[in-house]
Structure 1
Amino acid sequence: MRSLPVFDDLRAFLGWAEAAGDLARLSAPVDLRHEMTAVQLATLRAGGPVLRFDAARRDGQRAGMPVIANLFGTPARVAAGLGLAPGEVPGFGEFLAALRNPPPVEGMRDALSKWPMLRAALQTRPKVLRRGVAQERAAPADMSLIPAQIPWPGDAGPLLTWPVVVTRPHGSEARQTGRYNLGIYRAQVLSPDRLILRWLAHRGGAAHHRTWARASEPMPVAIALGADPATLLAAALPLPETVSEMAFSGVLRGARAELAPATTVPLLVPANAEIILEGWVHPGEVAPEGPFGDHTGYYNAVEPFPVMRLSAITHRRDPIYLTTVTGRPPDEPSVIGEVFNTLALPMIRAQIPEVTDLWLPPAACSYRMAVVQIDKRYPGQARRVMMALWGMLAQFSYTKTIIVVDRDIDPRNWDDIAWAMATRMDAARDVMLLDGTPMDYLDFASPHEGLAGKMGIDATTKIGAETVRDWGQVMALDPAHVARAESLLRGVLP
């Protein structure tokens, strides 16, 4: 199932990328304020390599550590972070779907054939070390040591953009890693020893925070900077609430996660990260966060979010800092979303079997529009699929527009989609509008924060009671004539 080696830490992944000629070291000075963003985006949009900035600068001074960017700037590197070649991603998606809903075992031979699934389950149990390499050195609780970017001209200040935020609910114990949440929540540097954690209300970190706030107790928090690829991708995946990202990273990695006790808070932290930030979030302590440029291509409004007071920073002997930048696609999150789209398809098909393909256009912020290909068999089926996606699968609750097409339409080809809409869709009959549905409050087009309309477009061939007219016949040439034409024109056409 896996063709690439296990990447125990970020350095192993960077070594693999460099050996493949997919890492570039930049020795020229690059400013962390805005300039690094321009270099990252230009590289990503050219399909370029991982970047290592060896002379990052802030306020004219050289940063105390190298900066890594564009880590997952191509779909191939996202797949590699999962230990896979690009062509193996669909198969891994099938495996993950089976792992979530395993088929019944029929006899010993069948049990042995499912050994990879059993092995993956065993790999979800983390291994606890006494001390990790992320704790080789202790540093003052001073964020000026961290070369955080100021990505966009309108940003409020330095921002941690690839933090893996580790939390657990009140009433749990540090050893109960199955109850942990790992989330990628951006963190604004407020002062040398304070960060603002921007977790939205529906995310796991916010849910844990509410349990500590109800108990009127400070909440322990740890942030891993420069975690291994499996931990980064597990924290970014939209997993069900009942699945621990910490545990799931073992499935992605192909080896058990290694954790170590934090030094000042009751949490276990990724032992092989580059840097660990430790601290507490006290009940009721918030600060205005932002504005910051977001994946929508707009700046977010300023809003209050919880403050984390740092109690310790630990790091490797020679740490490196991992960063990214978000903005109007294409950006790194949209590239990751392309691969996650492929991974999620088998799980979607397990819930809605008539779905044969699905595309989340990266330009539509990776989730606000979906084009769904179905195997249509009965009238009204396209509408049923729309409602199933919106109602059954939480990851589609913020999808504003769903376009449903037939199997003869490529859902990733805008020309095909436009033709289907122009010839198979009637605006009065085939457009379904909903009002007052959940929506990402970052969507400025919504009339109310968190509530908006949705649109479903049925661009499928109409059958049965869907139409009273005879439907047209699609024109097609004899395949033998097409093959003959290709043979005659080989070497003639470019």
Structure 2
Amino acid sequence: MRSLPVFPDLRAFLTHAEGRGDLVHIADPVDLRHEMTAVQLAALRAGGPVLRFNAAQHCGRPAAMPVVANLFGTPDRVAAGLGLSLDQVSAFGEFLAALRSPAPVEGMRDTLSRWPVLRAALQSRPKLLRRGPAQEVSAPLDLSLIPVQTPWPGDAGPLITWPVVVTRPQGSDAGQVARYNLGVYRAQVIGPDRLILRWLAHRGGAAHHRSWARAGEPMPVAIALGADPATLLSAALPLPETVSELSFSGVLRGARAELVAAKTVPLLVPANAEIVLEGWVHPGETAPEGPFGDHTGYYNAVEPFPVMRLSAITHRRDPLYLTTVTGRPPDEPSVIGEVFNTLALPVIRAQIPEVTDLWLPPAACSYRMAVVQIDKRYPGQARRVMLALWGMLAQFSYTKTIIVVDRDIDPRSWDDIAWAMATRMDPARDVMLIDGTPMDYLDFASPREGLAGKMGIDATTKIGAETTRDWGQVMELDPVHATRAEALLRGVLR
């Protein structure tokens, strides 16, 4: 399935990017406060390369290590992180859908034909190492030695933006990696050995935190900085709660995840990460987090979130620090979301077969709005699809608006969408409003924190009991005439 080599660590991926002329070294000093953000966003909006800042500094003081940014700043690099070319992403999505819900095996020939699926299942089992590069150096408990950005002028302070936070539920064993959760939660630096972890209530890390808090026990936490592409993307994917990101990363990587026992907490951590932070979250200990600029294009409100007290920092002998910036799209998360949209479509279609295409407009913060194309066959089908999507994955519970269109409408064309809404939608009949549903705390448009409404717009052709009027006929030219016209004008309109 993979067309690119396995990337066991971040460095292998950077070497691949540099070999393609897709990485640049920036030798000029660039400040971690605000200035680096401007450079990152300028590169991303130009479709530019991975950036390696070799002279990052903080208020005139040189950073202790290079900073890597804009890692997944183009769809091609996101696909490369999956080991694929961009045109292979859709087929890989079909493969992942089959891996999640395999059909019954029929005979030996069928078994052999499914070897890629069986091989992927084996690759999902992590491999435990006695030692790993991530633990070559035991560093002082001083986060100021790590070149953490302060991205926006109104930010409360330094913010770790690409942390892969490793947790497990209370009552589990450190070796039960299938029960681990990996999540990308922003982490605010508030002292040399303290961080605030901002995980929202629906995320796996928050669920694990509640289980330890109920038992009145401190929770072990590890943070991998500069993990390999497969681990980073697995942690960012909205996977079902029953799927371990650590195990799933083996499928994406094309090789088993390599783990090593943490030094001071009962957890296994990515052996090939650049830096690993270890520590504990104690029951009831919180601190005010924020404000920080977020993917909505606004600063979020200050809220209390759990504090992590560090017990160890380990890293490679010559570590790299990986960072990113979130803001109003386009930003790196919105670029990743474009590729994930294609990757997730086969999984969605496996659950809701009448869905033929789906687009999450990046400008709408990726998941706040969805345009869904369906093969409509019966009255009320558009509403059923809306409700199914809202309940399918936790991420879709934050989708405020769903627009459903027919197969003759391109769901990625605003012109097509506007025409369908103008000619196939009656506001009194075809708009469904729901109140009091889950919503991202960062949505300032919602009247209550964590609760908001949903709107579903049925912009499909109305059939059966949906209308009492004869429906209009769409005007179309004979394809023969259209082809003839194109041939006649080909030379004239060059």
5 Å-filtered alignment, 1:393-432, equals 393-432=393-432
The Cα of 1:383 is off from its aligned counterpart by 1.1
The letter for the 2-side match of 1:102 is: P
SS of residue in 2 equivalent to 1:447: coil
Q: Which residue in 2 is equivalent to 1:443?
A: 443
Q: CA separation in 2, counterparts of 1:14 and 1:490? A: 44
Q: Distance in 1 between matches of 2:391 and 2:233?
A: 26
1:311 is displaced (CA, Å) by: 1.1
Q: Take 1:393 and 1:305, find their aligned partners in 2: how far apart are those partners?
A: 24
AA paired with 1:151? P
In the alignment, which residue of structure 2 is the partner of 1:62? Answer: 62
CA drift of 1:429 comes to 1.1
- C-alpha deviation, 1:488, in angstroms: 2.2
| Counterpart-to-counterpart distance in 2, 1:19 and 1:114 | 34
Match of 1:223 in 2: 223
Specify the alignment match of 2:237 in structure 1.
Answer: 237
Instruction: Tell me the number of residue pairs that the alignment of Structure 1 and Structure 2 aligns.
Output: 494
Alignment of 1:48 onto 2:75: no
Q: Are 2:240 and 2:393, in contact at CA under 8 Å, matched by a contact in 1?
A: no
2:22 corresponds to which letter in structure 1? Answer: D
CA RMSD of aligned residues (A): 0.9
Amino acid at match of 1:180: Y
Consecutive unaligned residues in structure 1, runs of 5 or more: none
**Aligned mates of 1:382, 1:282 — CA distance in 2:** 47
Q: Are the aligned partners of 2:202 and 2:394 in contact in 1 as well (CA < 8 Å)?
A: no
Are 2:455 and 1:455 equivalent residues in the alignment?
yes
Write the letter of the residue equivalent to 1:310: L
- Say which SS state the counterpart of residue 279 (structure 1) adopts: strand
Where does residue 354 of structure 1 map in the other structure? 354
Match of 2:18 in 1: 18
Letter in 2 for 1:170: Q
- Is it true that 1:280 corresponds to 2:280 in the alignment? yes
Q: Is the 8 A contact 2:30 2:55 kept in 1?
A: yes
- 1:189-268 to 2 correspondences below 5 Å: 189-268=189-268
- Specify whether residues 461 and 260 from structure 1 end up closer, same or farther in structure 2 by C-alpha distance, changes over 3 A only: same
Amino acid corresponding to residue 143 of structure 1 in structure 2: L
How far residue 392 of structure 1 moved from its aligned partner, in angstroms, is 3.5
Aligned to 1:107: 107
Q: Which amino acid aligns with 1:29?
A: P
Name the aligned partner's letter for residue 238 of structure 1: P
Alpha-carbon deviation of 1:491? 4.1
Corresponding position of 2:129: 129
Secondary structure, counterpart of 1:448 in structure 2: coil
Q: Which amino acid aligns with 1:117?
A: V
For residues 164-175 of structure 1, what are the structure 2 equivalents within 5 Å?
A: 164-175=164-175
1:290-327 CA-to-partner distances (Å, cap 9, x unmatched) read 00001011111111111111111111111000000000
Aligned-residue offset at 1:486? 1.8
In structure 2, distance between residues paired with 1:307 and 1:387: 37
Mean Cα displacement is larger for which, 459-468 or 68-77? 459-468
Matches within 5 A, 1:277-426: 277-426=277-426
- What is the match of residue 480 of structure 2? 480
Paired position in structure 2 for 1:177:
177
Q: Is 1:90 matched up with 2:115?
A: no
| Aligned residue identity for 1:184 | V
- Alpha-carbon offset, residue 492 of structure 1: 3.5
How much has 1:395 moved relative to structure 2?
2.6
Amino acid paired to 2:33: R
Question: Mean Cα displacement is larger for which, 414-423 or 471-480?
Answer: 471-480
Equivalent position SS for 2:398: coil
* Shift, 1:202, TM fit: 1.2
Q: CA deviation at 1:103?
A: 0.4
Equivalents in 1 of 2:392, 2:272: separation in Å? Answer: 37
Distance 1:391 1:57 in 2: 46
* AA in 2 matched with 1:74: T
Letter in 1 for 2:96: L
Distance in 1 of aligned mates of 2:75 and 2:398 = 24
- The 3 A distance-change label for structure 1 pair 436 and 162 is same
Aligned residue type for 2:194: R
TM-score (normalised: structure 2):
0.99
Q: Hey, what's the Cα distance between the residues in 1 that align with 2:44 and 2:401?
A: 27
Structure 2 gaps of 5+ residues are none
**Distance of 1:235 and 1:54 partners within structure 2:** 27
State the secondary structure of the residue aligned to 1:33: coil
Instruction: Give the stretch that moved more between structures: 4-13 or 474-483.
Output: 474-483
Per the TM alignment, residue 393 of structure 1 is displaced from its structure 2 partner at its CA by 3.5
SS of corresponding position for 1:410: coil
The answer to which of 290-299 and 429-438 deviates more is 429-438
Shift of 1:346: 0.7
Q: How far 1:489 moved relative to its partner?
A: 2.2
Given that 2:26 and 2:52 are in contact with CA atoms closer than 8 Å, whether structure 1 keeps it comes out as: yes
Give the partner amino acid of 1:100.
Answer: R
